[in-house]
A and B are shown apart, each in its own frame.
Chain A
């Protein structure tokens, strides 16, 4: 009756088998070893920035299980208008599951409780980078991959910024490697991912902010309105709690 994307167990199992097999034949293990030896050089005085998406969760899993438990995880909460609360809660739960002993720093975007945050995204960049400056770590470990865009491919796996150095441990991973790692090691990712994967394909499923007009140039809000229609209109009370 209603247009809906349904993720059935059979479909998911089929892809789980595919990616688990790919892990063994696609040389993912070797890429993981390379990522570990590369990241070890920069782990001192670092923060692991985790959005909760597939790339950052893979990176967190690799760093936490193979390098050190003594890490600081930084997570940026976009606020209820940009990130539905059920997904945000799932992300925090997933981070805790993957890295239970890590120090978790969560900063919330204050303007994210305002509906205008979906349109007025310049403020986001200012608030986000100001927060990163306040945290003050020398190395920022991010889940950026070369495959994602031409700009990212041109950057290289280490980028020196004015106040910190960005390090990309999973830089040479492809989308297949990432999903293979996730299915092989049972890395938890938000369930919404599978809906997007079913609709857009595994290579295009990404977790960014939702219903965000910044991504209108990619048509993302059109897809969000079908998959996450329930979160298109939300109500927030005076204490910024979602009703």
Chain B
């Protein structure tokens, strides 16, 4: 596989709802690969079980390496670059269980609708930088229909994904700024640090380390 520096631009159809100030590109790619590997089994995963154990137990082929360049134990893939002001969307969510026939109270009690809030950013484009195989990434990104949270209620629909080759590598550090969480042990200097998940799966607490914060100044060792 030949890896080249890439700029990935998602043109958005609807605003992106976020559960964190950024989306990780390597997380997105690995999510698609895991879904490909597990097939239908992806949708009934047991909870509270380490992901390695699930893959082993379900007897599915191991996820092949994502088409992304690796530097130490990090993928050279940035977090999302979203230029926009966040807003809050308030909505009511109904339970997804079977409702009984007859009259029920939705304002209180067992069938109460949940009153939820989500942050969304109305943007035209979401940009990522990565170093990887453009052909394989194009195949994978073709399967990504939406970005961010609450895609089921219409957030984050993608109009078009564009992959361009660029002549600079901006997946890790660009213009002396971290483009993704990088553990401080890999950095010579850093402006700001926080405990962040630094590699996929990002929900796994074993991947949390003190990291240089994306879009703050840093110098790699």
Q: State yes or no: do A and B come from one complex.
A: yes
Point out which of B18, B88, B194, B214 has the most chain A C-beta atoms below 10 A from its C-beta: B88
Judge whether B205 and A233 touch: CB under 8 Å: yes
Docked pose: A2 CA to B123 CA in angstroms: 13
- Asked whether B115 is an interface residue with its Cβ less than 8 Å from the other chain, the reply is yes
- Asked whether A14 is an interface residue with its Cβ less than 8 Å from the other chain, the reply is no
Tell me, rounded to whole Å, the shortest Cβ–Cβ distance linking B46 to chain A: 18
Judge whether A219 and B117 touch: CB under 8 Å: yes
Judge whether B20 and A225 touch: CB under 8 Å: yes
Tell me, rounded to whole Å, the shortest Cβ–Cβ distance linking B51 to chain A: 18
What 1/0 flags go to A104-117 for Cβ under 8 Å of B? 00000000000100
- Asked whether A157 is an interface residue with its Cβ less than 8 Å from the other chain, the reply is no
Judge whether B21 and A2 touch: CB under 8 Å: yes
Interface residues of B in 56-109 (CB under 8 A from A): 81-84, 86-88, 90
Residues of A within 8 A of B215 (CB): 1-2
- Asked whether B142 is an interface residue with its Cβ less than 8 Å from the other chain, the reply is no
Judge whether A219 and B205 touch: CB under 8 Å: no
Q: A3-B22, A225-B19 are in contact. Are A217 and B86 (CB under 8 A)?
A: no
Q: Is the interface of B mostly helix, strand, loop or mixed?
A: strand
Judge whether A233 and B86 touch: CB under 8 Å: no
Docked pose: A26 CA to B73 CA in angstroms: 60
Interface residues of B in 186-221 (CB under 8 A from A): 194-197, 205, 208, 210, 214-215
- Asked whether A5 is an interface residue with its Cβ less than 8 Å from the other chain, the reply is yes
Docked pose: A2 CA to B22 CA in angstroms: 7
Judge whether B20 and A223 touch: CB under 8 Å: no
Residues of B within 8 A of A218 (CB): 114-117
Judge whether A1 and B149 touch: CB under 8 Å: no
Q: A3-B21, A3-B84, A5-B86 are in contact. Are A219 and B118 (CB under 8 A)?
A: yes
For A4, the closest partner residue in chain B by CB is: B21
Residues of B within 8 A of A89 (CB): none
Tell me, rounded to whole Å, the shortest Cβ–Cβ distance linking A174 to chain B: 20
Point out which of A225, A234, A243 has the most chain B C-beta atoms below 10 A from its C-beta: A225
Tell me, rounded to whole Å, the shortest Cβ–Cβ distance linking A33 to chain B: 35
Docked pose: A225 CA to B119 CA in angstroms: 9
Judge whether A226 and B116 touch: CB under 8 Å: no
Q: A217-B114, A226-B86 are in contact. Are A233 and B195 (CB under 8 A)?
A: yes
Which of B84, B117, B208 contacts A223, CB < 8 Å?
B117
Residues of B within 8 A of A225 (CB): 19-20
- Asked whether A232 is an interface residue with its Cβ less than 8 Å from the other chain, the reply is yes
- Asked whether B32 is an interface residue with its Cβ less than 8 Å from the other chain, the reply is no
Judge whether B20 and A232 touch: CB under 8 Å: yes
For A235, the closest partner residue in chain B by CB is: B195
Tell me, rounded to whole Å, the shortest Cβ–Cβ distance linking B47 to chain A: 13
Judge whether A222 and B119 touch: CB under 8 Å: yes
Tell me, rounded to whole Å, the shortest Cβ–Cβ distance linking B118 to chain A: 5
- Asked whether A121 is an interface residue with its Cβ less than 8 Å from the other chain, the reply is no
Tell me, rounded to whole Å, the shortest Cβ–Cβ distance linking B208 to chain A: 5
Tell me, rounded to whole Å, the shortest Cβ–Cβ distance linking A127 to chain B: 24
For B123, the closest partner residue in chain A by CB is: A3
What 1/0 flags go to A209-243 for Cβ under 8 Å of B? 00000000111101101100110111100000001
Tell me, rounded to whole Å, the shortest Cβ–Cβ distance linking B117 to chain A: 3
Judge whether B83 and A199 touch: CB under 8 Å: no
Docked pose: A2 CA to B84 CA in angstroms: 9
- Asked whether A200 is an interface residue with its Cβ less than 8 Å from the other chain, the reply is yes
Q: A3-B119, A229-B20 are in contact. Are A200 and B88 (CB under 8 A)?
A: yes
Residues of B within 8 A of A200 (CB): 88, 117
For B197, the closest partner residue in chain A by CB is: A233
Tell me, rounded to whole Å, the shortest Cβ–Cβ distance linking A229 to chain B: 5
The 3 A-B residue pairs whose C-beta atoms are closest, nearest first, are A219-B117, A219-B116, A1-B215
Question: 11 A–B contact pairs at CB < 8 A?
Answer: A1-B214, A3-B21, A199-B87, A199-B88, A218-B117, A222-B116, A222-B118, A222-B149, A223-B119, A226-B86, A233-B196
